[in-house]
Amino acid sequence: MARLSEMSSNRTVGKRLLDAREAALYLGLEVDTVYKKARLRGLPSVKVGRALRFDIRALDRLIEQNAKPIA
């Protein structure tokens, strides 16, 4: 399983598309939840062949748009 430090290194080498396992780690979710949210259009995803991939920039935008200010 990829560690968070490996996820950070992916950014430096320019990896933009994550697989479901990497997206789950990045978002702090279970892999099944990532697939379910993608199927329900709750997470932006793209099909690459038969594989589902998650654009890290789109995930960052989703996080920013849904972040609630700390009161």
pLDDT of residue 50: 94
Three-class DSSP category at 61? helix
What string of pLDDT tens digits covers the 71 residues of the chain?
A: 455 555 555 554 468 999 999 999 999 999 999 999 999 999 999 999 999 999 999 999 999 999 988 87
Query: What pTM was estimated for this model as a whole?
Result: 0.74
pLDDT of residue 30: 98
pLDDT of residue 14: 64
**Inter-CA distances, 11 with 26, 58, 63, Å:** 12, 14, 17
Both structure tokens of 34? 């990532």
| Signed CA dihedral, 44, 3, 28, 52: sign only | positive
At 48, phi and psi to the nearest 5? -120, 100
